[in-house]
Each structure stands twice: as structure tokens, then as C-alpha cells.
Amino acid sequence: MAEASAKPDHQRPELPDFWDKRFQSGVMPWDAGAVPTDLQAYLRQQGPGQARRVLVPGCGSAHEAAFLDQLGWSVVALDFSAAAVETARRNLGDWGGTLVQEDFFAHSPASPYALVYERAFLCALPRKLWAGYGERMMRLLAPGGHLAGYYFFGDDLKGPPFAIDRPQLDALLTPYFDLVADDAVADSIPAFAGRERWLVWRRR
């Protein structure tokens, strides 16, 4: 039998209600309001999108999804919060990608992605959900595809953002991925400053 939680739904980050409340009230301290520079540099290296498939899980306001679409990628922006999806829809306007309201762990695309872009998504998930993250990312990506983005490190337990330590992240991803880039981040927002790194993982 499932354990009843003492907390109301809007205080449980594993539920959309938690995020709905924050998007509805406009309290989104994670939102950079821009496309981070490491992502821009990475996409320049990759060349034109040429309709390659990219997933943005937990897309929030979807600034990066819009940018990827402009570069010619075939974008799926996904979020399980109705309020986040509504915010994304307003920001995206008339774009060429697909915006879906769905739980990441239920997402089952018809064909695999070439790229999954991570920002403030793993650290939005309560730790009890982390065990499924690496395998799900592996299943979403084609062999040789990249899981690229920002990871938030630390050893404090409170969240979100839920910090991860390096051995824990390696344990989640090294069974399926090889690390091909690992860089300091110059343009972090204050909430993440000094504690995030830009990582690119290549699916085996």
C-alpha cells in the first residue's frame, strides 16, 4: 500500500502541483531568462540542427527550447506542470517544435533523440526518483547521442534544488554513458553559482 504523505500536494516536488504553484505565483528563482553560454557554444560545435531530435525535459519557461528550434533542431519540450506548459506556450509563440504536458518518466517517443538537454531538472526531482534517471535517459537517446547540460553539486540535503555529489551522479550515468565534457560555468544564476558544471555525456 502506498504511504500517505503528511505534506499537501503543493509542497511535494514530485507532483505537478508543487511546480504549478510556483509558476502561477511567478516565484521561479531557477529561471535564467536566457540561453546559457555553454549550451550556445556546444550547439555552435554541433553545427546546424538539421531536424535532429532533441528533448528538453522539465522545460519550464522553455527559453532553450525556443533557441534550439531557431537553430533547426526538431524539439520536444516536456513538462508535467500545466502552469509551466502555459508559461512555455506564451514564450514559444509560433514555433516549429512540440510542447507536451507529460511526466518525464512516462515519456516514450516513437524514435530516439540525438540530444537531451538538462538544466535544473535532476535537481528538481526528489532523491527517491533519481534511481530511474540514468536508465530513462539511456532509453530516450540513440547510441552516440548526447545528454548535455548543467548539474548542481553539493552535499546539503534540503531542496529543491536537490544537490547531488559527484560519485552519486557517476553511479547514475556511467553504466550507460561516457563523459566527454566537464567544464566550469561562468554565467550561473545566483542560486547555482559555484556549484554547477556543464557536462556532456555520450550514450554508449
Ligand X SMILES: C[S@@+](CC[C@H](N)C(=O)[O-])C[C@H]1O[C@@H](n2cnc3c(N)ncnc32)[C@H](O)[C@@H]1O
The answer to whether residues 202 and 144 touch, using CB atoms and an 8 Å cutoff, is: yes
Residue 80 or residue 151: which is nearer to ligand X going by CB? 80
**Contact between 121 and ligand X (CB under 6 A)?**
yes
Least distance CB 179 / ligand X (angstroms): 21
Least distance CB 77 / ligand X (angstroms): 9
**Contact between 75 and ligand X (CB under 6 A)?**
no
**Contact between 165 and ligand X (CB under 6 A)?**
no
Least distance CB 150 / ligand X (angstroms): 8
The answer to whether residues 201 and 178 touch, using CB atoms and an 8 Å cutoff, is: yes
The answer to whether residues 103 and 124 touch, using CB atoms and an 8 Å cutoff, is: no
**Contact between 97 and ligand X (CB under 6 A)?**
no
H or E element, residue 99: strand 98-101
**Contact between 9 and ligand X (CB under 6 A)?**
no
Q: How far is Cα 139 from Cα 55, in angstroms, rounded to an integer?
A: 12
Residue 34 or residue 178: which is nearer to ligand X going by CB? 34
Residue 203 bridge partners (DSSP): 177
**Contact between 31 and ligand X (CB under 6 A)?**
yes
H helices present in 58-197, as ranges = 63-70, 82-92, 133-140, 166-173
Residues 123-162 that bind ligand X (CB under 6 A): 124-125
Q: How far is Cα 66 from Cα 97, in angstroms, rounded to an integer?
A: 8
Least distance CB 103 / ligand X (angstroms): 4
Look up residue 12 and give its DSSP letter.
-
Residues 52-71 that bind ligand X (CB under 6 A): 57-61
The answer to whether residues 131 and 142 touch, using CB atoms and an 8 Å cutoff, is: no
Please select the residue that binds ligand X; options are 38, 69, 79, 196, rule is CB under 6 A: 79
Binding site for ligand X (CB under 6 A): 19, 30-31, 57-61, 78-81, 84, 103-105, 119-121, 124-125
